[in-house]
Structures are given as C-alpha cells and as structure tokens.
Amino acid sequence: MTRHMIGLLLGTEDDWPTAFTEILRRLGPVEGPGGTHDFDVERITIEPFSLRDRPRYDMAIDRLAYWYYHPREWLKKVALMDGVYLLNSPFTFQSMEKHAAYCAMMRLGLKVPETVLVPYKNPIDNNRYAYTAARYNQPFDLDAIAKKIGYPLFMKPYDGGAWRGVSRINNADELHAAYDASGEMLMHLQKAIDYDVFARSLSIGAETMVMKFQPDQPMHLRYAVEHDFLSPDAGLEVVTIGKLVNAFFRWEFNSCETLVKGGDVYPIDYANACPDVALTSLHYYFPWAMKTLVKWAVFALVTGRRARLDVETDRFFAVADEPGLSYGEKLGEYRKLADAYFDTERYQDFCATSLARLDQLVLDWVTGPDFDQLLVRTVQSVYPAHEHDQFIAHLRGLLHLWVRDESTRLAAA
C-alpha cells in the first residue's frame, strides 16, 4: 500500500475542503500502477519552517498563497526542494497579475482586446521614485491613447481580482476621473467587447467546465445553469484556449473568462490561479468541481506525475509562428500540445478504470443527508441569519437539479 498525503492550504473556506475530504474518504484505496494507493488529507498550518525541513505532503492544493506570503514562500520551497505536486506552483501562477497571460495569449495569436499599460498616476512609495520619474517618465496623452483604443473601454489593474479598481469608461471625463482615482494602482486600458455571452471556464487538470456567467448578478446568481449556450465551435474554442493557457503556464487549477461575440472568442482574464470553488458560487457545478479535483489529485499521485516548473514557450511559439496555419489550425495544434501536457488520454483511461465507481459515489453522497448538512452549515456561515432559509432553499433547488441531470446521465451511460 502506498500512502499519499494531500495538504490543503486554505483561507476562510470550509465547504469545499470538507467535500473534497469526504469524497476521498468514500472513495477509499485506489488500484493503480505499483498496487494499491491510499490518501490522507490534512489542512496545512502556518508555522516557522527551516528551508531544509522535509514536508509531510506529496501534494498541496492552494487557495491562500495569492495573498498570504508566508505560505507562498513555503510553496516555493517545497516545489524547488521537495518535488511536492502543487495546484498551483507559485513559479507558474500569475494570479497576482493578468498582464503576463495577456502577453502570452497575444503572442499565441489569440484575440485579446487591444490593451495598453499606463504608468502610475500617483508616485509610488519609494524614495527613488521622484528622481526616476522626473528623469525617465515621458509625458503622455491619456486622451489620445483612449481615442486610439476607442470608447467604451475598461480601466482595470494589471493585477486585478474581485473587480477591485475595475471601471467601464464611456468618455474622456470618466477616463480622467478613473485614472485620477487609480492612485498607486498600475492600470490597463482595454477595449470593451460588446459581447453576446460571457463564458467562464473552470479548469482542473485535464478537464474544463464552461459555464455561462452573468457578471452583473449577485455572487450566488453569477453562474447560470444553462447548457449548449455556445455554438459547438465557440464551445470548443473556449475549452481549447483554457487548456492552452493552462498548459503554457503549467496551471492546473484555474478559472478563465472569455467574451463571445458572434463567432469570435475574446479572452479577457486568464489568470485566476487560486480559483473560487465555493459551494455558494458554483452551486450546480460544485459536485463536478469536487469530483474533478479528486480525480486529478488521485491521477497525479497514483501515476507519479511530476510537477513541472519549467515552461516550454518555444513549442507553443513555433505553432504561433507557422506561416501556413490558419487561426483554427493553430488552435488544433495548441490543443494537441495542451492534451499532451495534461496527459489527457491516460487521464481518461485512468478515470474509466481505476475511478469507475466515483460518479455513482458522488451522486449518492450529494443525494444523502451528509451533503445537505454541509449545504446548511455553509449557508449559515456565509449569509446573515435572516437570509438562511432563502439561500438553503435556493441551493437545495439547484443541487436537486444536478442530481436529476446526473441520474439521467448515469442511467444513459
């Protein structure tokens, strides 16, 4: 029996870690290469560590290091020194900024809207700034930049998240007001896409779920339960771009945002490498996310998948630079590179054999009382008391819908 220890690096959340742990517990030992494999899950605590300490973990799933730097440095240490498998490695995640992903996607020929990075509005807190800025900062014409991009446009931090500092700009007055308010934030100006559909895709290892997203709605209504809301071509393209960007940066747990207008797919945010997987936001899609996280973790550990800290940009750029290839053909080549990186075929075989019982097991769990308790506890911890009944009913309804759809799917299979 080979034992694997999975560590969870967490902030305030309790819902998905409980779900993840429970599914693994119900799954029990898994047969795979080298015999039987067993899994333990633990929450990682934050404490002093010697840089030469050996960690207890074979894998760490991180939802914390994007803002808490002590564990981020621990992740770097265990990635470099101990070969711990990380979702995601801080060397490869750029969730502190979206800029690198824009650059990579433009270099690969994707339709990122026109984007300009402008210098800080206010002096940043560094005593060399005044001298450096006086000597090297060129005066620039903000209006001319905006005019060239064209209104409406978005002004948003190059390293944004959670809508911090994001504004939609319709004219020069709004432009200056937003820039003046940006202070010490470094801002992108980006052409606004007047989209038909906002698709948000959650990628976990070799799998991607594309969901219809409604950014103007409150958190619990942002993911709409709607299937086939994209044409087959646009759907395939959204999935391919997600896999491509993730394979390019070695992200294995990420959520991506794309705007779809007619037949065109515009990526706008591909760097959320500590993605939200809360029960209250994912609702209907939560069982899929938890199951997939378990599948990918088990697959990686049982097959001895090695974490990759290097990126192989040249392999991707070679496709981008191939003169004879159309956009669609490039996507096809990118898809092959991404599937090779994620070992997609082997993963699918592994799920179909070693994890064949998982679908039914998760369905039984979501149908039963343990899951309902988790749902109720989660609502009680997230919402004020007077909203408990409303949100418990809301989530139960959506999860019943999932149970119905999943039962139909399994019966047909």
Ligand X SMILES: Nc1ncnc2c1ncn2[C@@H]1O[C@H](COP(=O)(O)OP(=O)(O)OP(=O)(O)O)[C@@H](O)[C@H]1O
To ligand X, the closest distance from the beta carbon of 204 in angstroms equals 17
Question: Segment near ligand X (CB under 6 A), from 74-82, 159-167, 359-367, 369-377?
Answer: 159-167
Under 8 Å between Cβ of 82 and 55: yes
Paired with 259 in beta bridges are: 198, 266
Q: Is 113 a binder of ligand X (CB under 6 A)?
A: yes
**Which letter, b or e, does each residue of 139-174 get, where b requires 16 or more Cβ atoms within 10 Å of its Cβ?**
eeeeeeebeebeeebbbbbbbbbeeebebebeeeeb
218: three-class secondary structure by DSSP: coil
Q: Is 40 a binder of Mg ion (CB under 5 A)?
A: no
What amino acid occupies position 70? H
To ligand X, the closest distance from the beta carbon of 309 in angstroms equals 25
Subset of 206-245 contacting ligand X (CB under 6 A): 215
Q: Which does 235 bind (CB under 5 to 8 A by kind): ligand X, Mg ion, none?
A: none
Single out the residue of 168, 228, 222, 175 nearest to residue 200, CA to CA: 222
Binding ligand X (rule: CB under 6 A), the pick from 59, 65, 268, 355 is 268
Binding ligand X (rule: CB under 6 A), the pick from 4, 99, 156, 295 is 156
Write the CA distances from 22 to 102, 249, 287, 354, 359, integer angstroms: 37, 30, 12, 18, 14
To ligand X, the closest distance from the beta carbon of 103 in angstroms equals 15
To ligand X, the closest distance from the beta carbon of 199 in angstroms equals 11
Residues 1-30 vs ligand X: string with x where CB under 6 A? ------------------------------
Tell me whether residue 252 or residue 257 sits nearer to ligand X (CB atom): 257
- 314: CB partners within 8 A, 6+ apart: none
Q: Is 160 a binder of ligand X (CB under 6 A)?
A: yes
Q: Is 252 a binder of ligand X (CB under 6 A)?
A: no
Tell me whether residue 256 or residue 358 sits nearer to Mg ion (CB atom): 256
Residue nearest to Mg ion according to CB distances in the complex: 269
Under 8 Å between Cβ of 186 and 159: yes
E runs forming strands in 110-161: 115-118, 153-157
Subset of 116-145 contacting ligand X (CB under 6 A): none
Question: Segment near ligand X (CB under 6 A), from 70-78, 132-140, 153-161, 361-369?
Answer: 153-161
Q: Which does 166 bind (CB under 5 to 8 A by kind): ligand X, Mg ion, none?
A: ligand X
DSSP string, 310-354: ---HHHHHHHHT-TT--HHHHHHHHHHHHHHHHTHHHHHHHHHHT
- Tokens in use for 385? 């008391």
Give the whole-angstrom CA distance, residue 78 versus residue 297: 17
Q: Which does 44 bind (CB under 5 to 8 A by kind): Mg ion, ligand X, none?
A: none
- Tokens in use for 175? 């432009």
Q: Which does 64 bind (CB under 5 to 8 A by kind): ligand X, Mg ion, none?
A: none
Q: Which does 156 bind (CB under 5 to 8 A by kind): Mg ion, ligand X, none?
A: ligand X
Altogether, the residues listed in the chain come to a count of 413
Tell me whether residue 78 or residue 260 sits nearer to ligand X (CB atom): 260
What amino acid occupies position 218? P
Q: Is 372 a binder of Mg ion (CB under 5 A)?
A: no
Helix (H) or strand (E) holding 253: strand 253-261
E runs forming strands in 10-52: 30-32, 35-43
Q: Is 150 a binder of ligand X (CB under 6 A)?
A: no
Tell me whether residue 109 or residue 113 sits nearer to ligand X (CB atom): 113
Question: Locate tokens 């998760």: which residue?
Answer: 362
DSSP state of 66: T
Q: Is 404 a binder of ligand X (CB under 6 A)?
A: no
Sign of CA dihedral 357, 359, 41, 96: positive
Task: Please tell me the number of Cα atoms within 13 Å of 301 on its side-chain side.
Answer: 30
Q: Which does 307 bind (CB under 5 to 8 A by kind): Mg ion, ligand X, none?
A: none
Question: Segment near ligand X (CB under 6 A), from 189-197, 227-235, 358-366, 393-401?
Answer: 189-197
Subset of 232-271 contacting Mg ion (CB under 5 A): 257, 269
Q: Which residues bind ligand X (CB under 6 A)?
A: 113, 154, 156, 160-164, 166, 190-193, 215, 257, 259, 268-269
Q: Which residues bind Mg ion (CB under 5 A)?
A: 257, 269
